[in-house]
Amino acid sequence: MAEAYIVEAVRTAGGRRNGKLAGWHPADMAAETLNALVDRSGIDPVSIDDVILGCVTQAGEQAFAFGRNAVLASKLPDSVPAVTIDRQCGSSQQAVQFAAQAVMSGTQDIVIAAGAESMTRAPMFSNIALHQKAGIGVGPISDRIKRRYGVESFSQFEGAEMMAKKYGFDRETLDRFALESHRRAAAATKSGAFADEIVPLAVEGGAHTTDEGIRYDASLESIAAVKLLREGGVISAANASQICDGASAALVVSEKALKEHKLKPIARIVEFAVTAGDPVIMLEEPINATRRALAKAGMSIDKIDLYEVNEAFAPVPLAWLQAIGADPAKLNVNGGAIALGHPLGASGAKLMATLIHALKARGKRYGLQTMCEGGGVANVAIVEAL
């Protein structure tokens, strides 16, 4: 089978809601990551076959052919097409997978996989709320779906509580995990571990190059003091991912393109998988997807050097570690979404950038990335750093 390679993978530093990136139109923010791929790789932008951009809340400034608008806001010529996709939190990880499939099929040679989400300017659920306020329709979950699953709605928050109960995690365990996320992210930032993957964005006072959500002074006491999302539960805003503005992108190419354009790859796509399961507990599916991807690759988890498991809620990576029998020391070594933020549609390619650069910095070979996604879906990708 033909191979797919990643030549560059970049991301913006995360911005808190109404924070440093609040003044950036999301199309312009995405455009900066596309520009960075061109600048860093030296690729002739005319040769780019397609741009696949993930975005979850396709409303307002993120509506109306958002991926195409990102191209039009960039230095790419208007001959480069684009498409916007939604696989919820895994949207830009799916973009990487679609790009790799296009390259491996031989139908395209140079594809950008990207993602962008301004959770400040296109708030989560605003694509639903405006219809609800106008009295249009009954929402995305039809009565037929409700009857099938015996619920009135699907809730990621309820799913997180269900996972914590199923795997036996109390609040202190979740809060300790959250604290470690902040500590790792702070250490990575101070050491310059993110420098090579971050695309600077101009903001008031200079360039935005540091993830805004990291709590350098976090303590178990301060995390435990945050109010629970429901009485008697274990999930709080402090042990869940942060609302975040950001963008990310990866340049995925064929072996033919490497030779013709004299490109140097930083990673190879080894294997990928997407699976789906129970939409009620919803967030557990990365476990099944990981098992499938490892089986397809003929690998065991001990052969993987680093893992990025999205910290949508603390029970997700903790349950994944427990079920897979993985090494906690290899998990989210530079912190995760609890500290760094989760810019929804941008998170997949964001984690890919972080994973590849972390592997290279440590002289390691194989990395695995997985995302829980709305509706009980999950993506997994295994990459080899080159």
pLDDT of residue 163: 97
Asked whether the whole model's pTM tops 0.85, one would answer yes
32 pLDDT more than 90: yes
Q: What is the DSSP letter of 308?
A: E
Q: Are 59 and 125 in contact (CB under 8 A)?
A: no
Do 93 and 369 form a contact (C-beta atoms < 8 A)? Answer: yes
Q: Taking residues 8-26, report their average pLDDT.
A: 98
349 contact partners, CB below 8 Å, separation of at least 6:
9, 11, 54, 92, 93, 95, 96, 113, 114, 115, 248, 249, 250
**Segment 212-250, tens digit of pLDDT:** 999 999 999 999 999 999 999 999 999 999 999 999 999
If one counts every other C-beta atom within 10 angstroms of the C-beta of residue 287, the result is 23
Cβ burial of 137 (10 Å; 0-12, 13-18, 19+) is exposed
Half-sphere exposure of 198 (CA within 13 A, CB side): 19
Given this model, what pLDDT does residue 369 score? 98
Q: Would you give the distance in Å from CA 62 to the centre of its chain?
A: 17
- Could you give phi then psi for residue 385, rounded to 5 degrees? -75, 140
Helices marked H in the chain:
26-41, 66-72, 91-105, 126-134, 143-149, 156-167, 171-191, 220-224, 255-261, 286-297, 315-324, 337-340, 347-362
Mean pLDDT of the region 188-198: 98
Q: pLDDT of 270-291, one tens digit each?
A: 999 999 999 999 999 999 999 9
Going by C-alpha positions, the residue among 194, 176, 198 that lies closest to residue 185 is 194
- Is the confidence at residue 382, as pLDDT, over 90? yes
Closest CA to 374 of 255, 304, 282: 282
* pLDDT score at 154: 94
Please confirm, yes or no, whether 244 is among the known catalytic residues: no
Q: Which of 182, 208, 342, 357 is catalytic?
A: 342
Read off the pLDDT of each residue in 119-140 and give the average, rounded to a whole number: 93
Kindly name the residue from 55, 89, 208, 244 that is annotated as catalytic.
89
89 in active site: yes
pLDDT digits (tens, 9 = 90+) for 45-91: 999 999 999 999 999 999 999 999 999 999 999 999 999 999 999 99
- pLDDT of 130: 85
The residue among 365 and 130 whose pLDDT is bigger is 365
Tell me, yes or no, if 342 is annotated catalytic. yes
Return the pLDDT at 124: 92
- pLDDT for 235 equals 98
Q: Does residue 1 register a pLDDT over 80?
A: no
Share of the chain above pLDDT 70, in %: 100
**Average pLDDT, whole number, for the chain?**
97
